[in-house]
Structure 1
Amino acid sequence: MKKIIITGLFAASISAFGFTLESNGIENGFIKEKYGKFGTENINGMPSLSFPLKWKEAPKNTKTFALVMEDYDAIPVTGFSWIHWVTIIPGNYNELKENASLKDSNLIQGVNSWISSMGGLSKADASHFGGPAPPDKPHTYSITLYALDKEIPLKSGFYLNELYKEMEGHILDQVTLKGDYKN
C-alpha cells in the first residue's frame, strides 16, 4: 500500500485508503525532545513519556489496533532494530493521549528493547513506551499502526514476534509515521 509522509505543524502519514496517523508530538519531522532522552520523565533511565497520536479513516470491521515503534538506525549500533513501543489498542479508539503508555490501563503493552542486555530493564519496566535515546547520531523512528480484523489474545509483557504471529492474515490496513530524534 502506498504511504505518504507529510511534515508541517504536525506530522501525518496517509495510507492508500485514507487511513491516517498524526502526532503533534512531532514537529517539522522531529520528535519533541521531551519524549526522549532529553525529557525529564523516565523509568530507571528509559525515557517514558509517550507522545500523543491520532488516527482517522480506519477500515470498517476494525476490531483492534496494534502499534509498533522501531528504530532501524539502531542496527549498526546494537545489531538489531530497537523496539521502542509495542501495544495493542482497543478498536474503538482513534487516539492515544500524551503519556498513554503509563496512564491508559486499556492498552496491552509488549516489551521493548530496553529489556535487552543493552537496556538492562526488567520485563515489567520494559513493557511500556521506551522513548528515543540515539547514542551516535540522529535516528529516524517508524511508528506503524495496524488496523486488525480480530481481537489479539495476548497479555501485557508479550514479545513483538508473538504479536506478528497473531496479526498474520488479519491486517486490514496499516499506516506509518516517521520522526527523527537528535542525539
Structure 2
Amino acid sequence: MLLQSLAFKNGESIPRKYGYKNGNHSVPLNFAEIPEGTKSLALIMDDPDAMGAVGKVWVHWILWNISPESNEISENSIPPNSLEGKTDFNEIGYGGPAPPDKEHTYQFKLYALDTLLNLERGSNKQELEKSMENHILADTKLEGKYTP
C-alpha cells in the first residue's frame, strides 16, 4: 500500500497552512496499491513526539469508512460516507500540527480493512483501534515535520 501527499514528501516539512494555528486546512492525501478484499480504509494522524511535551501521543485526525475505490482525500475535505472522530483538541475533524515546544514529526497511518466499521462519528482513537482489531489487511505510513 502507498500513501503520499501532494503537499509534502515523506520525511519533509508540512506547509504552514496545514498547521492548527495557521489555517488548519487538512492535508491532501493520495493512496494506491490497496489490497484485494479491502472493504474500507481508516486514517490516523498523530504526533508521537508530543509524548515528551505533553506526556502522550497527541491525536490530530481520525477518519474511517473511506471507500477503497477512492484514491485520495482532497485538501480540506473528507471522502463521501466516511466519518471523522474526536481529536485531542476535543474537536471532531482535522486538527493540524501544533507542536508546543520544537519541531515534531507527524504520522499519517492508513489502514486497509476487511470490513466497514460500526463506529459513530466523534469516536476516539482508542475506539477506532479497538474496532479495527483483527480486520487490518495492510497498513502504511507517511511522515511530515512541522516547526512552531
The answer for the alignment partner of 1:71 in structure 2 is: 47
TM-score normalized by the length of structure 2: 0.93
2:89 corresponds to 1:114: yes
1:148-177 per-position Cα deviation (integer Å, ceiling 9, x unaligned): 000101111001111111111110000000
Which of the pair has more CA radius of gyration?
1
Cα distance in 1, alignment partners of residues 116 and 77 from structure 2: 20
The answer for the alignment partner of 1:58 in structure 2 is: 34
2:59 corresponds to 1:83: yes
The answer for the alignment partner of 2:109 in structure 1 is: 144
Q: What's the RMSD between the two structures over aligned residues? A: 1.4
2:140 corresponds to 1:165: no
Q: Give the C-alpha shift of residue 134 in structure 1.
A: 0.7
The answer (yes or no) to whether the contact 2:85–2:125 under 8 Å persists in 1 is yes
Flag the structure with more relative contact order, 1 or 2, with Cα contacts below 8 A and sequence separation at least 6.
2
Cα distance in 2, alignment partners of residues 160 and 34 from structure 1: 24
Mark the runs of 5 or more structure 1 residues left unpaired by the alignment.
1-18, 42-46, 116-125
The answer for the alignment partner of 2:121 in structure 1 is: 156
Q: Give the C-alpha shift of residue 38 in structure 1.
A: 5.3
The answer for the alignment partner of 1:20 in structure 2 is: 2
Amino-acid identity (%): 40
AA in 2 matched with 1:109 = E
Cα distance in 1, alignment partners of residues 21 and 106 from structure 2: 16
4+ aligned runs moved over 4 Å, structure 1? none
Q: Give the C-alpha shift of residue 93 in structure 1.
A: 1.4
The answer (yes or no) to whether the contact 2:20–2:95 under 8 Å persists in 1 is no
Q: Give the C-alpha shift of residue 105 in structure 1.
A: 5.0
Cα distance in 1, alignment partners of residues 108 and 20 from structure 2: 18
Task: Answer with 91-100 or 20-29: which moved more.
Answer: 20-29
TM-score normalized by the length of structure 1: 0.76
The answer (yes or no) to whether the contact 2:34–2:68 under 8 Å persists in 1 is no
Cα distance in 2, alignment partners of residues 177 and 76 from structure 1: 21
Q: 3-state SS of the aligned residue for 1:163?
A: helix
Q: Give the C-alpha shift of residue 61 in structure 1.
A: 0.7
Count of residues in Structure 1 that have an aligned counterpart in Structure 2: 146
Mark the runs of 5 or more structure 2 residues left unpaired by the alignment.
none
